[in-house]
Amino acid sequence: MTTSASQNHSVPFGLLPSGKLLWTFRILCATALSLSGYLAWTALNQVPVYGCGGGEVFDCGHVLTSKYAKVFGMPVSVPAVALYLSLLSVLAFFRPETPEKLLRAGWSLLTFGAIAAALSALWFINIQVFELEHLCAYCLGAHSCGLVLAGIILWKRPLGNWQTSAWSGVSFAAVAVLITAQVTSEAPEHFVVERFDDVQTSETQIADLDRTTDFAPPGDALSSTDDDSLFAPPISDEAVVTDNLFEPPVEFNEPAALPTDDSTTTGTSKPPVTDVSETTPVNTDNNAAETDDEVARKPAPAADPRPTVAAATYLFISPSTASLLIRMIASTDDPALGKQSDNTEDQQADSDNTTQVKDESAADGTEKADQTPATPPKPEPRLVSVSGNRFRLNTRHWPLLGNPDAKYIFVEMFDYTCPHCRNTHHAIDGAFKEYGDDLAVVALPVPLDGSCNDTVRNTSSSHANACELARISVAVWRVNRVKFRDFHNWMFASSRRSSASARQKAEQLVGKAELTAELAKPFAGDYIKRHVDLYKKVGRGSVPKLMFPKSTMTGAVSSTRTLCRTIERELVQK
């Protein structure tokens, strides 16, 4: 009886694994099932993965929110759970009394599943290393189980070479379908839209800068108001007007009464400047001193209602900038006032020019007409409304990508060390290709670094140098606004940029001396503080933030199509 039973249940050598190998298979499948099940639970419930986020290398949140974390609209961990649960069920039938036919079917399913898991593991590890440049520890654990399981089966080959090769081909075809679906699918959206339905207008506005909703950069006269929503740009002590570096336009209203001398600026009183067209003789001897009687007999000059250098300085304009503006305004109708300057060399040059004009006029017998060019018209302020028109930003006062007079402009808050901001940058770059010069973005770096952003309590190692990167970026914009976009794009071309490499790139674009001089000033840091101030006022939270007049998109916007649809809805007038 024993011999007969043994013959009835005998199976070919190798179809029934040993107890040790069988338990190895079960442990590998159970481990992979547990890891995949946890990832599926976090994905379906939209909760963060425990202990694997924000690191420079390991960042499960970045990996699991990419386009490769889903297939056919579901998290990839869901089919992984089904696969390893099926393999565990098959392993439960590997017993001595199992018929040969069932054992062969079991090995067929086990070979197909293990090799499919291994090929998928190779694909996802490649994506994490080369595409996402971040790793998920839970994913790597599950992938390792699949690789070991497939390695053992390929080593043992219980079904023989031919059938093992056939099932390997079927596995390869299944994984090819998965890869094709992921490559051709659009990146999933992970953003929240906050709407402001009470806003009546959605267009980018041109408006008066004195309104209390204006959010100005640091240093402007607006900073003198008590309204917390008003901020002003940093004005350097030495205003330089060049093609690459220029101060933002200074907006001010003329006071009712202004001082008529420069004593408040220089600390010493200067004699009033008289009009050269008057009949009073001009003293051409610079070394001759007038007597007190001669000074007393001269008519007192009429009060000039136009702003002087002292008045302009009172309105937070640097003395050299004020002097230049006053000379430009006065030169069209009052040459004498145009000569007023704190710089002795400028006064001497203006005096020599006046003498030369008089000599030429005497030789010709006629008085030459004043050919001083008129002051160029000041550009209209272009204000961009955000957060339901609560705040407006002048496009010429803030770091800008594109034309300040573009038809469609919105505001972006971002961090150069944020991977979601990098994904959004790709979508914005696609929108620039779609709209060209009609699109511009006010680019406000908001570092997720507690050293310059007090809303960050614990700075992650991946954001450790975010403040310095943002400061270098603003400095590049202040030195050369044309090169700012090149630097901005270069920063997002890689997920990891050190402050040293960023500074080296900035020096290549705008010059080492110019960048060093700008970084030695406090203005770049002041801008970052203002960015953080606005970040607090619009609700804090995650970055990136894409802010429109009627809505704010918080989170990664990875699809160019989604962004373009939003621009059409929010900025294009119907």
Q: Where in the chain is the domain with CATH 1.20.1440.130?
A: 2-185
CATH assignment of 191-228+381-463+531-570, among 2.60.120.460, 3.40.30.10, 3.30.470.20, 3.30.70.3190: 3.40.30.10
Tens digit of pLDDT for each residue in 133-168?
Answer: 889 999 999 999 999 999 999 999 999 999 999 999
pLDDT tens, position by position, 343-389:
444 444 454 554 444 444 444 444 444 555 566 666 678 899 999 88
* pLDDT band at 413; cut points 50, 70, 90: very high
The yes-or-no verdict on residue 394 having pLDDT over 60 is yes
**251 has pLDDT over 60:** no
pLDDT on residue 303? 46
Which candidate, 184, 166, 178, 172, places its Cα nearest to that of 119?
A: 172
pLDDT at position 264 over 50: no
User: Hey, is 445 helix, strand or coil?
Assistant: strand
pLDDT tens-place string over residues 277-290: 333 333 434 443 44
Q: How far apart are CA 132 and CA 140, in angstroms?
A: 14
Tokens describing residue 325: 């503006």
Q: What is the pLDDT of residue 53?
A: 66
CATH (residue range 2-185): 1.20.1440.130
Look at 269 and 157; give whichever has higher pLDDT: 157
The residues of the chain that CATH labels 3.40.30.10 are: 191-228+381-463+531-570
According to the model, what pLDDT value does residue 317 have?
A: 47
Whole-angstrom Cα distance, residue 437 to residue 445? 22
Q: Give the per-residue pLDDT at 330.
A: 53
Model confidence pLDDT, tens digit, residues 437-479: 999 999 999 999 999 999 998 888 778 899 999 999 999 999 9
CA torsion, ordered 315, 317, 319, 323, to nearest 10 deg: -90
Looking at 57-66, 105-114, 127-136, 410-419, which range is the least confident one? 57-66
Residue 432 · residue 556 · CB < 8 Å: no
pLDDT: which is higher, 97 or 224: 97
Model confidence pTM above 0.85: no
CA angle, corner 410, sides to 397 and 62, nearest 5? 110
Specify the pLDDT at position 573.
72
State yes or no: pLDDT of 20 exceeds 80: yes
